[in-house]
Amino acid sequence: AQSVTQLGSHVSVSEGALVLLRCNYSSSVPPYLFWYVQYPNQGLQLLLKYTTGATLVKGINGFEAEFKKSETSFHLTKPSAHMSDAAEYFCAVHWGKLQFGAGTQVVVTP
Amino acid sequence: DTGVSQNPRHKITKRGQNVTFRCDPISEHNRLYWYRQTLGQGPEFLTYFQNEAQLEKSRLLSDRFSAERPKGSFSTLEIQRTEQGDSAMYLCASQQGMNTEAFFGQGTRLTVV
């Protein structure tokens, strides 16, 4: 069965440090790939997506992600964390339907 | 365009009662999804529609759950004989095509007491 896995349910980073959130999918056919963010008491909103073309995609708030077909991965990064990045992040894949990973909670410490 | 709208925002019901939630998607979107989310978890897929056709329903979903999208516009999700384990946030999302952004509503928070 197709699945999406996010490594690490909680990540703590210092303000100004690199943010790295991992996402892997299991499929022989690359799906469409998305990262969503959910701030406390708010709905999900799109950070970025990969469908076709350039494998490094840039999103909002300084986030970017790279699609690596050979590694079946779509990891999310941000060079310098800001306090406002504290939220839950979800990787999602589209194989006919949109399916989400379990999420990674990001805590940013001063 | 007012985005995806879900009603009610909150629902408290007694165990055994039936509840119905409504989702109004973005008007030109042909795909509509229902998800369930509990604290600390990702959205769990329940079902989705393309226009009025229900294309897939999660195998984990009890027969107490049913969804409709009668004219390919709004959708309803009904839970019959609610149980405490049904307490969760129910999310609706709409999308125009598979490779586009899915827009989410604010959700309906169900509490079964």
- Chain B nearest-CA distance from A2, in A, is 13
Closest CA to A80 of A31, A36, A20, A1: A20
- Chain B nearest-CA distance from A34, in A, is 8
In this structure, of A26-30, A105-109, B103-107, the range with the lowest mean pLDDT score is A26-30
Taking the alpha carbons of B46, B11, B6, A86 in that order, is the dihedral positive or negative? negative
**CA-derived radius of gyration, chain B:** 13
- Chain A nearest-CA distance from B98, in A, is 7
All residues of chain B having their beta carbon less than 8 Å from the beta carbon of residue A99 are: 45
pLDDT of residue A3: 86
pLDDT of residue B1: 54
pLDDT of residue A56: 95
The number of angstroms, rounded, from the C-alpha of B74 to the middle of its chain's C-alpha atoms is 11
pLDDT of residue B62: 86
Question: For B89-99, what is each residue's pLDDT tens digit?
Answer: 999 999 998 78
pLDDT of residue A64: 97
pLDDT of residue B100: 86
Size of interface A-B (CB pairs under 8 A): 53
The chain-wide mean pLDDT, for chain B, equals: 93
Mean pLDDT of the region A2-9? 90
Mean pLDDT of the region B10-26? 98
All residues of chain B having their beta carbon less than 8 Å from the beta carbon of residue A51 are: 99
All residues of chain A having their beta carbon less than 8 Å from the beta carbon of residue B55 are: 96-97
Closest to A32 (Cβ–Cβ): which among B43, B93, B99?
A: B99
The answer to whether A100 and A35 are in contact (CB under 8 A) is: no
All residues of chain B having their beta carbon less than 8 Å from the beta carbon of residue A103 are: 40-42
Is the pLDDT assigned to residue B14 strictly greater than 70? yes
pLDDT of residue B51: 93
pLDDT of residue B48: 94
pLDDT of residue B39: 86
Q: How many angstroms separate the first and last alpha carbons of chain A?
A: 41
CA distance A20 to A8: 10
Is the pLDDT assigned to residue B10 strictly greater than 60? yes
Question: For A52-93, what is each residue's pLDDT tens digit?
Answer: 888 999 999 999 999 999 999 999 999 999 999 999 999 999
- Whether B45 and A9 lie within 8 Å, measured CB to CB: no
- Whether B42 and A101 lie within 8 Å, measured CB to CB: yes
